[in-house]
Amino acid sequence: MKRWIAGRPARWAMAISALAGMAALPADAADDRKGVPRQAAGAVQTAQAAPTFRFAIPAQPLPRAIAALSAQTGIQVLYTAEQPFAATARAVEGTYTPAEALGLMLRGTGLGYRFLRADAVTLEPLPAATPGVVSLPGVSVEGRDSAAYRVRSATTATKTDTPIAKVPASVQVVPRAVLDDQQVLRIDEALRNVPGTVFVDGGEGKSIFSRGFAASVYRDGALRTEFTDGDSSATDLDAYNVERIEVLKGPASVLYGRGNPGGAVNIVTKRPLTTPAYEGRLVVGSNNLMRQQIDLTGALDPARHFAYRLNAVHETADSFRDEVTSRKVAVSPAFQWSPHGGTTVVLDGEIVNMRQTPDVGIPRQGNGPLAGVPIDRFLGEPTDRFRNRKEQARLSLDHDFNGATNLRTSVLYSNTRNDDWYTRGAAVQADGRTLNRTIIDSGFEFEDLGWQADLTHKVVIAGMEHTFLVGAELAKRKTVSIFDSAAAAPIDIFQPVYGNTAPTAAFSRFRQETDRWQAGLYVQDQIELMRGLTLVLGGRFDHVDQKRTSPGAPLPKKEDQAFSPRAGIVWQPIEPVSLYATYARSFTPVNAFPLSAGGQILEAEKADLYEAGIKLDLLGGRLSGTLAGYQIKRSNVNTPDLENPGFQVSEGEQESKGVEVSLSGEVLPGWKVIAGYAYTDARITAAANNTKGKRPAGIPEHTASLWSTYELQAGPLAGLGFGGGAVYVDDRFGTSANDFTVGGYTRVDAAVYYRGEGYTLRLNVNNLFDREYYLNPTRTPFLLPGAPRSFLLSLQANF
Q: In the chain, what percentage of residues exceed pLDDT 90? A: 58
Inter-residue contact 315 to 290 (CB < 8 Å) = yes
Is residue 607 scored above 60 in pLDDT?
yes
pLDDT in tens, 178-228: 999 999 999 989 999 999 999 876 555 568 999 999 999 999 988 876 555
The two beta strands, 648-668 and 464-492, are unpaired
Residues 6 or more apart whose Cβ sits within 8 Å of residue 470:
454, 455, 522, 523
Four-point Cα dihedral 127, 130, 132, 136, nearest 10: 40
pLDDT in tens, 57-113: 766 678 778 877 876 777 878 765 555 556 677 777 666 778 888 888 888 777 888
pLDDT in tens, 683-694: 999 987 888 999
Q: Give pLDDT, residue 508.
A: 85
pLDDT in tens, 226-284: 555 544 444 468 999 999 999 999 999 999 998 899 999 999 999 998 889 999 999 99
Q: Give pLDDT, residue 84.
A: 58
What's the mean pLDDT in 370-384? Answer: 93
Q: Give pLDDT, residue 498.
A: 94
Query: CA angle 191-570-196, nearest 5°?
Result: 20
Confidence of residue 2 (pLDDT cuts 50, 70, 90): very low
The two beta strands, 171-175 and 702-711, are unpaired
What's the mean pLDDT in 142-168? Answer: 81
pLDDT in tens, 707-765: 999 999 888 999 999 999 999 999 999 888 888 899 999 999 999 999 998 999 999 99
Residues in the chain: 799
Is residue 525 scored above 80 in pLDDT?
yes
Q: d(Cα 377, Cα 399) in Å, to the nearest integer? A: 56
pLDDT in tens, 115-129: 776 677 888 777 654
Q: Give pLDDT, residue 604.
A: 87
The two beta strands, 263-269 and 759-766, are unpaired
Q: Give pLDDT, residue 18.
A: 33
Q: Give pLDDT, residue 639.
A: 79
Q: Return the number of other C-beta atoms located less than 10 Å from residue 502's C-beta.
A: 9
Q: Give pLDDT, residue 94.
A: 67
Compute the 3-state secondary structure of the chain and give helix, strand, coil in percent, each to the nearest 5. Answer: 10, 55, 35
pLDDT in tens, 5-63: 333 333 333 332 332 333 333 333 333 333 332 223 332 332 333 446 667 676 667 87
Q: Give pLDDT, residue 108.
A: 73
Structure-model confidence comparison of residues 614 and 508, the more confident one: 614
Q: What is the mean pLDDT of the chain?
A: 84
pLDDT in tens, 466-493: 999 999 999 999 999 998 999 999 999 9
Q: d(Cα 409, Cα 344) in Å, to the nearest integer? A: 11
For residue 206, the cross-strand partners are: 201
Is residue 609 scored above 50 in pLDDT?
yes
Confidence of residue 376 (pLDDT cuts 50, 70, 90): very high
Q: d(Cα 19, Cα 52) in Å, to the nearest integer? A: 11
Is residue 391 scored above 50 in pLDDT?
yes
Q: d(Cα 557, Cα 757) in Å, to the nearest integer? A: 62
Domains delineated in the chain: 3-125 (3.55.50.30), 153-267 (2.170.130.10), 268-798 (2.40.170.20)
